[in-house]
Amino acid sequence: MKFIIKVILIAVLSYILQLLLPFWVVAVVAFVVNYAIQSSGWSSFFSGFLAIFLVWSIVAIIINSRTDSILTDQVAALFSMNSILITLLSAFIGGLVAGMGGLTARMLFTRKNKSSKYYS
Amino acid sequence: MRLFKFFLTLLFTLVLIYTLNNGWNIKGTPIPPLGKFLDPFHGFWQNAEDSALPYPESVELNGLSAPVTVQYDSLYIPHIFAQNTNDLFTAQGYVLAQHRLWQMEFQTYAASGRISELIGSAAVDFDKLQRRKGMVYGAEKSLNSMQENTELWAYVTNYAKGVNQYIEELSYKDYPLEYKLLNYEPEEWTPLKSALLLQYMIDNLTGWDMDLENTNAYNLFGAEIFKKLYPNYTATMDPIAPSAQNWEFEGVEVTETPDSINLSNNYYSEVHTMPDPDNGSNNWVVSGWKTESGKPILASDMHLGLNLPSLWFLIELSAPDYNTMGFALAGNVGIVSGFNQNNAWAFTDVSRDERDWYHIRFTDESRKEYYYEDTKLKTSLKVEEIKVKGSETIIDSVIYTHHGPVVYDRNFMSEDGENNLALKWIGHYPSRVQEALLGLNTSKSYQDYLTALEYWDAPAQHVAFASTSGDIAIRVQGLWPNKFEDQGRFILDGSQKVMEWQEFIPTNHYAFLHNPDRGFVSSANQHSVDSIYPYWQGWARPDHYRGRRINKILAAYDSGTIKPDDMMQLQLDSYGILSQEILPTLLDSLKKNGLNSDTTYMALRNWDYVYDHQEYAPVAFISWWSNFKSLLWDEMKIDSIAIKQPTDYQTIYLVKNGIPGSFEDNKATSRKETLNDIIAMSYDSMKMSLAQWSESNTGKLTWGNYKHTAVTHLARIPAFSRRNIQVNGEDDVVNSTKGNHGPSQRIVVEMTSPPQAWAVIPGGQSGNPGNPAYDNMLDAWRDGKFFKLNFMQNQKSAQDVLLNQTLAPSAE
């Protein structure tokens, strides 16, 4: 449950802040959320990763379908990929940055009892 | 331990972000900043557009005195309606930047030799050459001349204001795609950049000569053979302004003529890269008495490199006393070629030699002085700093003499330091064509056309003209030194005053036609005048085929028959006079067994000389012809001596009238070949070349596949280029379309009141590969279709246009 709340929080906050700030703001958001809601390392990393992977891929897919893939195919070709792969690559990169932001927060506080990771 | 882990993770995260926020170069492959670039909120995704006109309906602009309305028609062409000309050009700058910012800027980077800054060391040689040719040096002179005309200067600075306000609005998210990909930011636009764009066009059209190769050939083959291989005037000519009329003037004598040309005995091993020799154009105008409507019809297509974003931008400019529609360049004020309510005008390049090379003898290694007559002259030094992306800045020292910059020296293409060659170029004189263009934009009569052209200097052009009043005309316009015979065909001695450019030919002695009896004027880069014209001309790369074809077809029309559609068809004409003039000779001389069952031979026998993209015969002919020429002129393939083959025209002439020397003999064999042997040998080589083509290519061996026409992105980014375009034509036919080169626009204007026009460009209005208007006209261009232009003249109601954009003065 905590994990899902974190994912939603990171996704929503990042979406809003990204309208104004560069891509690395997702790391800051994931850091702050994971500092506020503390949990295990895995949960800290993947809450950020999943949230941004989803946000970025959904935004990319919406742009892609709205514009009839006009540019995605060309840029994908530049990377020797197809439009699905370039979408996944984009989402993965965003996810990785946010995931690391979350994990950094985890390293700031002392570990609670080990069992937390089973229900986070 | 905990803190250590935290800092380690933090450090890793920061390094990751840093890595993704910056561009990299991995083994020469530039990688954009992946985080920024792939971020769907700011990166390339934001450049994908679902509308061809994703522009705001209202914009505030500093410096406007009244609101300006920009209305976009169904072809996405903007029609700018301003209340005065100053506002008009501020708006033009803004609108061009809105569509073409990256292209505008990139072309000026290319002009000034700054491409390495963007793409790295691959462009260093290109940049060095641009700097050594003195591109900025020339542009600055034109800029100074713009400054002298206060009205023009106001226009150019207003244009810059418009561009800069568009730039100021942008954040990373809005940058044109190429900035994101190449990871740099737009710079401030300045009037110098407008001058640089002009210089870029001047270089494209006059930056070509054969002086080094001519010198080599002259020294190698001797005067007599040289004259036969490379005659200045050819046997058959169909000049643009023939001398059948009596010139109403006596030519001015050349001030001083040397006793002899004193050719240097040096051989030149390398020649720097030059613009495509096929850079040129067609234009013609037919008189009202030949047309169905009784009004003149003008046609124009300019042959240049085929690039995306499209070179030309279609636009209508309207203000009091200004109502013009046509093709603008991204970066220059006004319209280059087009029409207004009274007149239409169009350009083709004049194939005169507009640059010469002077051999410089420095007094010593320091190169601070060089010999001139009985004295020594001082050089000046320009230190060029070439910034290179991902590498150290390169310093290149360019020495200037009174002739011009020393392009070839010990640091560039002449390592032994013997051949120091200074460039004397019309592009180093101040160009006033921007003034001339604005004069043409607002011209109302034939007289206005003449007045406007008084300012036209470089690049030299044949300016065709048509008016609603029925006048048709063509002028050979430019700025040319009055040369003695053969001056500047070879390397000149830079220490002799007599070898220099002296007086210029008086402008009232320029050749022209005005309402000629034959009922049409035309030009296709052939000789402008014949040898009776009282001034000696050195020709560079004149056309021998397109002009004759156009004139033959235009002459054949009876009075009152020509329709605009006929002129569009003539622009698409792909009939090859070259092949018609040589192929039967080649076929008749081919002595082989079994030719009647040889499919290639039969295809050539049955060919109608039309370069149809679906046909096989054009492939066989072009390959045969090129193999034939390399066997015939094999004596010209010498490693350390640059020589150009004689033209196709001259080669055909010599094949039919006797080849001088012993060129027929192939040096690679021990026996002595005759012409017929060469023809048979080259037929076999052709078959081998074509078999190789089939092995390394998929698809049928058709002209379209073989020619493989491509419209390439300006920065050569493959994904933003369009390849394998199945299009008719060849460089020597009216529809002059080859691999990466061809008609960069086509337009036909009928001079009714108001004029009606049909046009097409090989691309579209938008410069953004993610916009539907990036290449929306390309298929129509390929298939020879045209779009009727909407010459609005007056503002329409907002509902009748696709987008009604208001540029309002900002309340600053």
Asked if the Cβ–Cβ distance from A71 to B21 is below 8 Å, we say no
pLDDT at B515 exceeding the cut of 50: yes
The mean per-residue pLDDT over the stretch B806-811 comes to 91
Q: What stretches of B183-275 show up as alpha helix (H) in DSSP? A: 191-206, 211-221, 223-229
pLDDT at B458 exceeding the cut of 60: yes
Residue B771 at interface with chain A, using a CB cutoff of 8 Å: yes
* Pairing outcome for strands B312-319 and B78-81: parallel
Residue B10 at interface with chain A, using a CB cutoff of 8 Å: yes
Residue B225 at interface with chain A, using a CB cutoff of 8 Å: no
Of A71, A86, A107, the CB nearest to B5: A107
Residue B416 confidence (pLDDT): 82
* Residue in B with minimal Cα distance to A30: B13
| Helix/strand number for chain A, H first, E second | 6, 0
Closest chain A C-alpha to B311 CA, distance in angstroms = 21
* Pairing outcome for strands B307-308 and B709-713: parallel
Residue B247 confidence (pLDDT): 81
Residue A114 confidence (pLDDT): 47
Asked if the Cβ–Cβ distance from B10 to A86 is below 8 Å, we say no
**Rounded percentage of chain B residues whose pLDDT exceeds 90:** 88
* Residue in A with minimal Cα distance to B771: A70
Give chain B's radius of gyration (CA, Å): 28
Residue B244 confidence (pLDDT): 66
By the 10 Å C-beta count (0-12 exposed, 13-18 middle, 19+ buried), B190 is classed as middle
DSSP track, B457-487: -SS-EEEEEEETTS-EEEEEES--B-PPTTT
pLDDT digits (tens, 9 = 90+) for A4-61: 999 999 999 999 999 999 999 999 999 999 999 988 888 999 999 999 999 999 999 9
Asked if the Cβ–Cβ distance from B48 to A60 is below 8 Å, we say no
Residue B29 at interface with chain A, using a CB cutoff of 8 Å: no
Q: Which two tokens stand for residue B157?
A: 């600075």
Residue B259 confidence (pLDDT): 85
Which residues of A fall within a CB distance of 8 Å from B36?
22-23
Closest chain B C-alpha to A1 CA, distance in angstroms = 26
> What dihedral do alpha carbons B792, B795, B798, B803 form, nearest 10°?
60
Of B8, B38, B45, the CB nearest to A93: B38
Residues 6+ positions from B298 with CB-CB distance below 8 Å: B283, B284, B285, B339, B344, B345, B346, B464, B465, B466, B747, B748, B749, B751
* Chains A–B, number of C-beta pairs less than 8 Å apart: 111
pLDDT digits (tens, 9 = 90+) for B719-763: 999 999 999 999 999 999 999 999 999 999 999 999 999 999 999
The amino acid occupying position B611 is Y
Closest chain A C-alpha to B63 CA, distance in angstroms = 29
Which residues of B fall within a CB distance of 8 Å from A59?
40-41, 45
Q: Which two tokens stand for residue A52?
A: 């941004």
Whether the CB-CB separation of A27 and A98 falls below 8 Å is answered with yes
Asked if the Cβ–Cβ distance from A90 to B38 is below 8 Å, we say yes
Residue A16 at interface with chain B, using a CB cutoff of 8 Å: no
pLDDT digits (tens, 9 = 90+) for A58-94: 999 999 999 999 999 999 999 999 999 999 999 999 9
Q: How high is the ipTM of this complex?
A: 0.93
Which residues of A fall within a CB distance of 8 Å from B48?
63-64, 66-67, 70-72
pLDDT digits (tens, 9 = 90+) for B263-288: 778 899 999 999 998 899 999 999 99
Asked if the Cβ–Cβ distance from B10 to A22 is below 8 Å, we say no
Closest chain A C-alpha to B181 CA, distance in angstroms = 10
For residue B415, the number of C-alpha atoms closer than 13 Å in the C-beta half-sphere is 3
Asked if the Cβ–Cβ distance from B10 to A107 is below 8 Å, we say yes
Question: How sure is the predictor about A110, in pLDDT bands with cuts at 50, 70 and 90?
Answer: low
Give the 3-state secondary structure of residue B60: strand
The mean per-residue pLDDT over the stretch B51-65 comes to 95
Choose the mutation target among B38, B177, B720 for the interface with A, i.e. most A CBs under 10 Å.
Answer: B38
B326: left (phi over 0), alpha (psi -120 to 50) or beta: left
Residue A52 at interface with chain B, using a CB cutoff of 8 Å: no
Q: What is the mean pLDDT of chain B?
A: 95
Give the 3-state secondary structure of residue B412: strand
Question: How sure is the predictor about A120, in pLDDT bands with cuts at 50, 70 and 90?
Answer: very low
Residue B10 confidence (pLDDT): 93
Which strand (E) or helix (H) includes residue B455? none
Q: How far apart are CA A85 and CA B342, in angstroms?
A: 56
In chain A, domain spans: 2-110
Residue B299 at interface with chain A, using a CB cutoff of 8 Å: no
Closest chain B C-alpha to A4 CA, distance in angstroms = 23
Residue B772 at interface with chain A, using a CB cutoff of 8 Å: yes
Question: How sure is the predictor about B245, in pLDDT bands with cuts at 50, 70 and 90?
Answer: low
Question: How sure is the predictor about A119, in pLDDT bands with cuts at 50, 70 and 90?
Answer: very low
pLDDT digits (tens, 9 = 90+) for B155-173: 999 999 999 999 999 999 9
Residue B619 confidence (pLDDT): 98
Q: How far apart are CA B616 and CA B301, in angstroms?
A: 27
Residue B84 confidence (pLDDT): 97
Asked if the Cβ–Cβ distance from A90 to B39 is below 8 Å, we say yes
Residue A61 confidence (pLDDT): 97
Which residues of B fall within a CB distance of 8 Å from A56?
39-40
Q: How far apart are CA B103 and CA B91, in angstroms?
A: 18
